[in-house]
Amino acid sequence: MHSQSLLDTTSNKLDMVQKRTLLIVDDEEGPRQSLRVVFKDEYNLLMANDGNRAIELARQNKIDVAITDIRMVGMSGVELLEHLKAVDPAIEVIMLTAYETVDTLRLALRLGACDYLNKPFDIVTMRKAVASAMERRSLGEEIRNNGQQLQELQKELQNQKMVEEITRTRGEIYASIIHDINGPLTVISGFIQLMNQRICATSRVEGEDLDFVKDRLKTITRQVTNCIEISRRYLSFLRQNSDDSPPVGVNHILADLRDLVCVHPSVRENEFQIEPLIEDATVKINGTDLIQILLNLTINAFQCTAEKHAVGISGRLVPQPLDLSGLSDGPEDRLLNREGFRNSGPLLALSVKDTGPGIPAEILPKIFDPYFTTKSSAQGTGLGLNVVQRLIREAKGALHVHTRIGEGTTFVIYLPAA
């Protein structure tokens, strides 16, 4: 790496740092000393007269190459080779042999020895062997460093991508906040209107009127809390806080959903049915997120036609992972988040089913796109399903849509059960 002349002009201390280290192991004084004479100027030398001392040295120093005799009193060279590789798999080891069988040599090579030389060795061959072992060691190091650098670079790139993704979606997220808060706001304003009508002509609120107002105020308070929770969730997403929310009980969420949907203007005279789980279960998702998902799907189901139709929500527990091969995309089917789905049982399946007109095949691939809507600007912004998609991805769930023209549409969400 460095030319000899450069090394000569630097201090001894620097030499120690920059020179590579060679460990020489032999239980005979003669060969040990002759190796020392050959290599003392070129490398930092460490000498050991048995295996144990060699291992100790390897633990205390970064050794590049070791030369070890195979036949030694106590620990054999092959055993030592194994120990050295255990300390640092990148150490290159040259074996010195005298009368060893081919099997022993084969074993040594299999254990990672890089070369073997016969004793007595000639100096030229020995120098060549050590030089090429040193080169292999440097190359290996470089490859490892490059690998590490590559990994760091990839990590950095990923971070960069995340930042870009967040910047890109920031606008979308703000729009989503407004969209999601709109739902509870509709309920709040409806209830305030109702209260106004009820008490506008009275000068005192008491008796039944008072109970009425108290009851509506309770709902309004719940909806305001909902709004706050929605913005909190989105803001923590923007800040990239991973929110380890406790698992939520599904039937509790379904009861909340019923309260919310019943007062929504889209319901009108349509049929609405919620079938809770026979045995309640918990899922790994933030409760507000789950309500947002179900609410968006349910309101869509009510808004799919002006004709009278039915909307039903039901849940069931799926004990085994899903067979995703049966859920491929087609003119009547769509599976979302196939890659990010944590598909291990038990899962919770929640379906939102309507008996509406169904979704045409040419529209189906677009329904999750932000701002895609077939509704008038007064009725839809086209953000609902985009929000649903994002929340399902975050929860590592999946969403399957099955639709048939003239029969209706079913959205099934799959979430990891707790």
Ligand X SMILES: Nc1ncnc2c1ncn2[C@@H]1O[C@H](COP(=O)(O)OP(=O)(O)OP(=O)(O)O)[C@@H](O)[C@H]1O
Enumerate binding residues for Mg ion (CB under 5 A).
300, 384
Shortest separation between residue 350's beta carbon and ligand X, angstroms: 15
- Residue among 343 and 381 whose Cβ is closer to ligand X: 381
- Residue among 163 and 405 whose Cβ is closer to ligand X: 405
**Tokens representing 374?**
């077939």
How far from chain centre, in Å, is Cα 340?
Answer: 9
Alpha-carbon distance of 47 to 349, in angstroms, equals 69
Partner from ligand X, Mg ion, none contacting 51, C-beta within 5 to 8 A by type:
none
- Cα first-last separation, the chain: 59
Shortest separation between residue 345's beta carbon and ligand X, angstroms: 28
- Single-letter code of the amino acid located at 67: I
Partner from Mg ion, ligand X, none contacting 410, C-beta within 5 to 8 A by type:
none
**How would you classify the pairing of strands 44-48 and 333-336?**
unpaired
- Residue among 77 and 382 whose Cβ is closer to Mg ion: 382
Partner from Mg ion, ligand X, none contacting 64, C-beta within 5 to 8 A by type:
none
Partner from Mg ion, ligand X, none contacting 184, C-beta within 5 to 8 A by type:
none
Alpha-carbon distance of 359 to 361, in angstroms, equals 6
- Single-letter code of the amino acid located at 249: G
Alpha-carbon distance of 199 to 272, in angstroms, equals 30
Shortest separation between residue 332's beta carbon and ligand X, angstroms: 12
Q: How buried is residue 290: exposed, middle or buried, by Cβ count under 10 Å (0-12/13-18/19+)?
A: buried
- Residue among 223 and 403 whose Cβ is closer to ligand X: 403
Residues in contact with ligand X by the rule CB under 6 A: 179, 296, 300-301, 304, 354, 356, 359, 367, 372-375, 380-386, 409
Partner from ligand X, Mg ion, none contacting 382, C-beta within 5 to 8 A by type:
ligand X
Shortest separation between residue 258's beta carbon and ligand X, angstroms: 19
Alpha-carbon distance of 152 to 141, in angstroms, equals 16
- Residue among 21 and 226 whose Cβ is closer to Mg ion: 226
CB 40, CB 15: distance < 8 Å: no
